[in-house]
Chain A
């Protein structure tokens, strides 16, 4: 059992607090089938794929998922020279997440992987095309009206001459982390559009969380229609019994085409 990174320093008034969806990510990427898949694709024993994989998490929030991957790279990838990079719209989350990852990889028993940075950006727009080996996205998936982005620049920093954020500001920043527009899919659809251009052409793989209202089966079949070789499968689920928030994580990747 791999331990959950500490997020004790994070202020959850304005940064998404790790919840069932975050923990489903930890369980899924460290599950036996996924570590076998990732080890086979990126492990150092596979001679062809020796160069360190770049793991990018979009919308890192508290950083708990990226920190988990960075700290447990040997168990997940079969190697510890893994590069981790995060992005978030919320500048407070960027700082908090960077600290979460740094703390997690400093634990004495760890073989440290390499943490790059968390940059303040929209999705993966600032990352070089075709450079991402593993993309992780826990999107704002709740069917709820998107926040009014025109306030973003003001709400993304401390108010002038103040040392704390306002209540409205905190509410806005939290809305960014969960409100997904129609069907909870507006932000996810923007990310899906970018995925083929973001992923490494042969070894790239993306993990995306969806809730039942996102219509996961329709999403998966759309991805398979991207073109020859594209695959999408459910690799982790939670909350199967009751409640409206049934979650699943799908893996998106491209099968190597023969010839």
Chain B
């Protein structure tokens, strides 16, 4: 199970959902593996506003992985112009990247239109690291523990089991 998936999961028990302690779930006795996948730069750049960065940092720390930076990187820090195939038009796009500092998720950010810029960007080390952590580092076995009720959901062969006794009846 990918670490990014933890960004979207919570305790399956209804009463826990109201408690902030039910997110994120805490990995315990985790056995990690790397499952390589293709890096999707526009995805990485666009997903940032949806990440619960502070909680993610906590999970990374609990797993004993190298610390994530305190402040979430800006989308602009994930792509760099590739030297070879630049055209004048694209160079112009690049200028708009460096001048934008707006952090509001909902505000228009013309520089993140992949149609215009994606072919001209290559991932920075920050992007490679983030891809490796969020999409390639996977929980193969262990448990996910709710910080509110303490229930431990087992992970086996990469599949997390959120079924509770009596859940279905």
Pick the contact of A119: B43, B115, B162 (CB < 8 A): B162
CB atoms of B161 and A81 under 8 A apart:
no
The A-contacting residues of B in range 143-164, CB under 8 angstroms, are: 153, 157-164
Interface check B50, CB cutoff 8 A: yes
Interface check B40, CB cutoff 8 A: yes
Question: Bound state CA distance, A48 and B17, in angstroms?
Answer: 28
CB atoms of B1 and A117 under 8 A apart:
yes
Interface check A91, CB cutoff 8 A: yes
Q: Considering residues A51, A85, A153, which has the most beta carbons from chain B within 10 angstroms of its beta carbon?
A: A51
CB atoms of A127 and B8 under 8 A apart:
yes
CB atoms of A120 and B162 under 8 A apart:
yes
Interface check B119, CB cutoff 8 A: no
CB atoms of B157 and A50 under 8 A apart:
no
Least CB distance, B28 to chain A, in whole angstroms: 16
The B-contacting residues of A in range 95-141, CB under 8 angstroms, are: 95, 98, 112-114, 116-122, 125-129, 131
Mask for B8-36, Cβ within 8 A of A = 1, else 0?
11111010010000010000000000000
Interface check B97, CB cutoff 8 A: no
Question: Bound state CA distance, A79 and B114, in angstroms?
Answer: 9
Given the known A-B contacts A51-B49, A52-B46, A112-B38, are A122 and B109 also in contact in the complex, defined by CB atoms under 8 Å?
A: no
Least CB distance, B142 to chain A, in whole angstroms: 14
Mask for A35-54, Cβ within 8 A of B = 1, else 0?
00000000011011011101
Question: Bound state CA distance, A78 and B50, in angstroms?
Answer: 19
Question: Bound state CA distance, A121 and B5, in angstroms?
Answer: 14
CB atoms of B8 and A81 under 8 A apart:
no
**Contact surface of B with A, Cβ cutoff 8 Å:** 1-2, 4-5, 8-12, 14, 17, 23, 38, 40, 42-43, 46-47, 49-50, 105-106, 108-110, 112-115, 135, 153, 157-165, 167-169
Q: Give the 8 A-B CB pairs with smallest separation, nearest first.
A: A121-B162, A81-B43, A149-B168, A126-B162, A125-B12, A47-B108, A126-B12, A120-B161
23 A-B interface contacts by CB (under 8 A): A47-B109, A52-B43, A52-B50, A80-B43, A81-B40, A81-B47, A81-B114, A83-B43, A85-B8, A89-B163, A94-B159, A114-B4, A117-B1, A117-B160, A119-B1, A120-B159, A122-B162, A125-B162, A126-B9, A126-B162, A127-B10, A149-B168, A156-B163
Known: A85-B8, A122-B167. 11 other contacts (CB 8 A): A81-B42, A91-B161, A94-B159, A119-B159, A119-B162, A120-B159, A122-B12, A128-B8, A128-B10, A129-B17, A131-B8
